[in-house]
Amino acid sequence: MTTHQLDSGLPRVLRAAGALVAPGTALVALLYYFGWLRVFWFCNYFGVNSTVLGFTTEDYLMRNVDGLFVPLAVVATITLLVAWSRYLVGPVLARRPAARLLAAGIALVVGTAAATAGFLAVFGLRLGLSVGPLCLAAGVLLLALASRLQRTGGTTRVQWALLAEWAGIFAVVCICAFWAVADYASAVGTGRAQQVEAELAGYPGVTVHSAKSLGLAGPASTARRAPSPTAPTTTATTA
């Protein structure tokens, strides 16, 4: 298989994906989902269902910054490193077959280990925040790199097999990236809730008058009845 054939597979897959889902629509949907996750886990930490609070689409879109800032920075950095390494290391590997085979072997071993760890994470192995999906994505990419490095210029493959390979790689990487960022957004929501809890003592107090008990309990809240017997109002004060 020639380099041109290898390089033409991915763009065709990307064009097909863009034809099925408009990039702008997909981006807005992802932003909404990640914002929703952050808000959900923030409220869930306090035992509140976020769906009853009436958050709007704009709220979810504005609250996803914490959940996407770090992942986008990491993806951009990795993309630049891969692009630079291709131009720096690629010519060396092309001139030295021994170095090419060595790189293929390293990619095969590391990729197999990473893909195995990520695959086990799918079935419940706990590896830490976003480690499982990142291992699976990295493993698949390294295995694809090892396969490419081992192919010679005379190797030929049918077009549908090439497209199927790139489509599978694209699907696995997208799913893993979605999974990793979703985990990160959930962790950010919980972390922000814990931060609010830790700083709660410094927030202004609130007094709520209600005809019925609000069911508030805890060291940061007190409840008492209104002094007037004709006004059966319960006052709950939170510090």
Query: Do both 165 and 125 map to the same domain?
Result: yes
Q: What is the pTM of this model?
A: 0.65
- Summary mean pLDDT of the chain: 75
Query: Do both 106 and 53 map to the same domain?
Result: yes
70-87 residue pLDDT tens: 777 887 888 888 778 777
Query: Do both 176 and 76 map to the same domain?
Result: yes
Task: Outline where the chain has alpha helix (H).
Answer: 3-20, 23-45, 57-62, 65-95, 97-122, 131-150, 159-198
What share of the chain in percent tops pLDDT 70? 75
- pLDDT number for residue 3: 46
Query: Do both 210 and 161 map to the same domain?
Result: no
The order of strands in the sheet holding 234-238 is 206-210, 234-238, 221-225
CA-to-CA dists, residue 159 to 10, 172, 203, 224, 226, angstroms: 12, 20, 63, 76, 79
As a whole number of angstroms, the distance between CA 239 and CA 233 comes to 19
54-72 residue pLDDT tens: 888 888 887 767 667 777 7
Query: Do both 192 and 208 map to the same domain?
Result: no
- List the domain range (segments joined by +) for residue 159: 3-198
Query: Do both 163 and 183 map to the same domain?
Result: yes
Query: Do both 215 and 180 map to the same domain?
Result: no
Overall domain count for the chain? 2
Q: Which residues contact 155 (CB under 8 A, 6 or more apart)?
A: 1
To 5 degrees, how large is the angle CA 30–CA 119–CA 19? 35
Q: Which residues contact 86 (CB under 8 A, 6 or more apart)?
A: none
133 within 8 A of 118, measured Cβ to Cβ: yes
As a whole number of angstroms, the distance between CA 34 and CA 40 comes to 10
50 within 8 A of 199, measured Cβ to Cβ: no
Among 183, 198, 213, which residue terminates a domain? 198
Query: Do both 140 and 61 map to the same domain?
Result: yes
To 5 degrees, how large is the angle CA 122–CA 127–CA 133? 45
Query: Do both 136 and 33 map to the same domain?
Result: yes
Query: Do both 52 and 107 map to the same domain?
Result: yes
Residue 231: what are its φ and ψ, rounded to 5°?
Answer: -120, 85
Query: Do both 164 and 109 map to the same domain?
Result: yes
- pLDDT number for residue 75: 78
4-29 residue pLDDT tens: 444 555 555 556 555 555 566 777 77
Torsion sign over Cα 17, 23, 29, 35: positive
Query: Do both 63 and 139 map to the same domain?
Result: yes
- pLDDT number for residue 4: 45
Residue 204: what are its φ and ψ, rounded to 5°?
Answer: -65, 150
152-179 residue pLDDT tens: 544 555 676 777 777 788 888 888 888 8
